[in-house]
Amino acid sequence: MRKIKTQDSLLKIVETEKLHKLAFQGLDLSAVEEQLMNLRVTNCLFMDCEISVRLMKHLHPANYIFPGLNVPFSIYPSGLYNKDNLYNGYDYNRPETYFSTMDKKVYDYYKKMGGSEARNIKETLARSLHDHSIYDAKHEFLAAYDERKVVAIMGGHKLGRDDALFLQTARLAKSLTETGYLMTSGGGPGAMEATHLGAWFAGKTDAELVDAVDILSPAPVYSHPHWLKTAYMVLEKYPQTNYLSLGIPTWLYGHELSTPFATHIAKLFENSLREEGLLAIAKGGVIFSPGSAGTMQEFFMDLAQNHYKSYGYASPMIFLGKRYWTEEYPVYPLAKLLIDTGKLNGIDLNIYDENDEIINHLNTFNQRY
């Protein structure tokens, strides 16, 4: 079903003789009402469109008309988010302006209506419809990429910007982006932010990336009051990027702000859709940098997907940090034992300390197909 998401597309489509199996999303139909009244329109979807009673009577019952709901977010967003619409009106010189942004308003409303425990059917329906549209927009965005060129980095949200691992992760993402990979992550702070920072600085010098990290470091973690401010200071100094990246955050963890360095943001309400979906799209491989329970959960989810080849084939699973993943959190030896004893099949697992080793591993996987 072809989607009509812009007013320009709407003006062009009504010049035809009939409309059949089209999806109109979030449009004002008043400008083309007379044309629509004179057209044969069948089996079309009209989602959250501005539509008069007269036109509604003309379209019903041969079409499907879905009204909006009284919530502070679009239940049929026509595309992915970005920093400009999530943080609309934010001025880093006046940090209090964050409280008027869409992101903050939606998060406050989400908490007010019960958060993940919401039982009001209107609220849960609104969230589900929103997440369905974002899921759809995400796959439209990914359609332009070779699926084996989509790589995710998982890691701790508490990783400080002043930690050497933050800069290493950013350099890794920068190099992979410059090699032609699309970087994706959970879209939050810590290792996730480092992923998108690196992608943003693809094509720029390493000195410029180091300068950006120096600007960020005085607000090292997401709980610092100037975490978002310093990110926007970097964006002001380095406003342009020729490379894209995809962040997939959630309002479940709305207290952890979404990184504005992700050029495309698929922000969801349902966290399970986020985690499963993020691993599913990273068919070029997943890199697990040091993290805690959440990162380990993602590892075992990815392990199951690859063992069962849930998405067609097994993709590389790479640990970054030998000492961390063999001594502090000895997940790698356990997984390796299960693979070596035949309990898990077809798993492409390895562990490295150096970025070049990871890049070579991913490139080798790509060259096999």
* pLDDT score at 355: 98
SS3 category, 327: helix
Average pLDDT over residues 134-160: 97
Residue of 192, 360, 365 whose CA lies nearest to 262: 192
Distance CA 365, CA 369 (A): 7
pLDDT in tens, 54-65: 999 999 999 999
Distance CA 8, CA 28 (A): 11
Residue of 119, 183, 117 whose CA lies nearest to 153: 183
Distance CA 301, CA 87 (A): 32
Percent of the chain with pLDDT strictly greater than 70:
100
Task: Please check the confidence at residue 314 and state whether its pLDDT lies above 90.
Answer: yes
Average pLDDT over residues 257-276: 95
pLDDT in tens, 329-359: 999 999 999 999 999 999 999 999 999 999 9
Instruction: Kindly state the DSSP code that residue 344 receives in the 8-state scheme.
Output: S
Instruction: Kindly state the DSSP code that residue 69 receives in the 8-state scheme.
Output: -
* pLDDT score at 147: 96
SS3 category, 199: helix
* pLDDT score at 123: 96
Residue of 143, 241, 254 whose CA lies nearest to 198: 241
Distance CA 184, CA 129 (A): 23
* pLDDT score at 136: 94
pLDDT in tens, 182-202: 999 999 999 999 999 999 999
Task: Please check the confidence at residue 369 and state whether its pLDDT lies above 80.
Answer: no
Q: What is the mean pLDDT of the chain?
A: 96
Q: For the chain, which domains are there?
A: 2-66 (no CATH), 146-367 (3.40.50.450)
Q: Bridge-partner residues for 288, per DSSP?
A: 154, 319
pTM comes to 0.95
How confident is residue 17, by pLDDT bands cut at 50, 70 and 90?
A: confident
Contact criterion met (CB below 8 Å) for 362 and 180: no
